[in-house]
Amino acid sequence: MKQVNKVCLSLLVLLPLSIAANAQWYRLKNYPNLNSGGDTNIYTSSPYLPYVAGNGVILYGAIAHSVYFGHSGDETLMESKNDLDSCKYVYSNGGIGPGNIYSIASKNDSTICFVYTNSDYIGTLLVHSNTNFHPTPKRIEINQPAGGYGSTMPSCFSDNYIYMSTLISYLPIDSIVLYRITIANDSIKRYVTMKYRSPVQLHFTSDSTGFMLCTYVTDSAKSALVKTSDSGKTWRNSFLDSSHIIKGFCFPTPSIGYLTENNGNIYKTIDAGNTWIQLTSPTTMTLNCVSFSNGTNGYIGGKAGILYKTTDGGTSWTKEISGDPNSITSLYTFDTVAYFIDTNYNIYKNEKPMSIESIQANRIEARAFPNPNNNGVFSIELKVNSEKFKVEVYTVLGEEVYSASLPQTPKEALRKIDLGSQPTGIYLYRIISEKGDFIASGKLIIQK
């Protein structure tokens, strides 16, 4: 979590103007177990493969269990539109048997697809919708030969197509097959390349131009970012490294791209992957992922929760306090809002920056007392209007230990925060509005 500005704990804690420039990262709630949009006799477990499709829109796979029918094991795609405050089913495998969701992709927060493979090798399903899976989405069966399934099946959108790639093993040598599905009529084109294997990441900047992260068939130690200019019919090397492993890449524009490696190297292209230049990196640790919202603003993340931000296209980097000791595996950026996901599928989000006008309109006085204290029971006093507020308390590592709504009216706006079960230490609290806008923050000190 980003360090909170120092305040005098005996005085009023005012919303700092610097919050617009300094984002805080906090962990979202645990994945909801119940399907709030349907039968309460059905619940889900074992969430996996989380994907952020937009600000607040999170999709993930889970296993559905029915208390009423007494069976379980159906794979389902879950959706949350409020940062995991609640969720609902958007698609279930129903009668096609057990399996796994292998990838999720989106064009925006309502045009989404996912790839599902049945464990009995019946075939691969690509399910897509441009209306958040409501009404019934389109389901496309992609029948591959037996044994033709890879352990990864990355997918992505272009303007008019959905692309999906995987490893096939029925040819004389392992190869990659790329499927191109026309969104308008669900027609399928299939292209095979025998030079590369093990596709990890796929991204198309237009209907014809795309990039894929994979390895060489003849030398699996060589990681390669390859490029196509003819919708996947042919591929050529864009970036090849036999000494280090390429971990992730992104193209925020058709011409500007970034990639990261396992030794902390960062590279950038400004000519659509024809040439790459090495940037000065702030770390030598593994950088698993990179994401930019435009050509200049982005993040890199990796081992042990390291996280850096740039606002000048990678010329300089600022360290962010992620508050997460686990490795960061994926990043998502949407204008000023960003998310990252770690190895345990925890999802973190930065605070929504507020304009000066918004800060002035929402400035609220807050006071926490007694602070410090020896029993962990604090009072929060707010001078508020009739809007609802919420207070959350975190450890310095970003773990949420308390969450509650504050009373509406100024007369009642005094609430006890009981952290008596927490050990001695420093805790960070934040107050947000019902709409999720950041209002105020400060420290709570327990000295038992």
pLDDT value at residue 318 = 92
Q: Scan for tokens 């929504």, then name that residue.
A: 352
161 DSSP assignment: E
* Residue bearing the bigger pLDDT, 410 or 125: 125
* Residue bearing the bigger pLDDT, 44 or 179: 179
Domain boundaries 25-30+102-350, corresponding CATH code: 2.120.10.10
Mean pLDDT of 183-212: 91
Q: Where do you find CATH 2.120.10.10 in the chain?
A: 25-30+102-350
- pLDDT category of residue 128 using cuts at 50, 70 and 90: confident
Give me the phi and psi of 361, to 5 degrees please. Answer: -70, -30
Does domain 17-21+354-446 correspond to CATH entry 3.30.420.40? Answer: no
Q: Which tokens hold the place of 260?
A: 């990261």
Cα distances (Å, whole numbers) of residue 72 to 39, 65, 119: 15, 4, 16
User: Under a CB-based contact definition with an 8 Å cutoff, are residues 163 and 182 in contact?
Assistant: no
The DSSP code sequence of 199-255 is EEEEEESSSS-EEEEEEESS-TT-EEEEEESSTTSS-EEEEEESSS-EEEEE-SSSS
Q: Give the Cβ contact number of residue 229 at 10 Å.
A: 14
Q: Which tokens hold the place of 6?
A: 């120092």
The C-alpha atoms of residue 267 and residue 96 are separated, in whole angstroms, by 43
pLDDT value at residue 364 = 59
User: Under a CB-based contact definition with an 8 Å cutoff, are residues 110 and 136 in contact?
Assistant: no
Residues 241-297 have pLDDT tens digits of: 888 999 999 999 999 999 999 999 999 999 999 999 999 999 999 999 999 999 999
pLDDT value at residue 23 = 46
Cα 256 from chain centroid (whole Å): 21
pLDDT value at residue 170 = 61
Mean pLDDT of 359-371: 68
Please tell me whether residue 308 adopts helix, strand or coil conformation.
strand
The answer to whether residue 19 scores a pLDDT higher than 50 is no
Percent of the chain with pLDDT over 90: 41
Mean pLDDT of 213-225: 82
* Residue bearing the bigger pLDDT, 3 or 312: 312
Cα distances (Å, whole numbers) of residue 372 to 63, 376, 384, 406, 447: 45, 9, 24, 21, 7
pLDDT value at residue 171 = 57
Q: Where do you find CATH 2.60.40.3080 in the chain?
A: 17-21+354-446
Residues 379-432 have pLDDT tens digits of: 887 765 556 677 888 887 667 788 887 665 554 456 788 999 999 999 988 887
Residues 50-97 have pLDDT tens digits of: 999 988 899 998 877 655 444 456 678 888 988 988 888 777 765 445
Cα 280 from chain centroid (whole Å): 25
- pLDDT category of residue 161 using cuts at 50, 70 and 90: very high
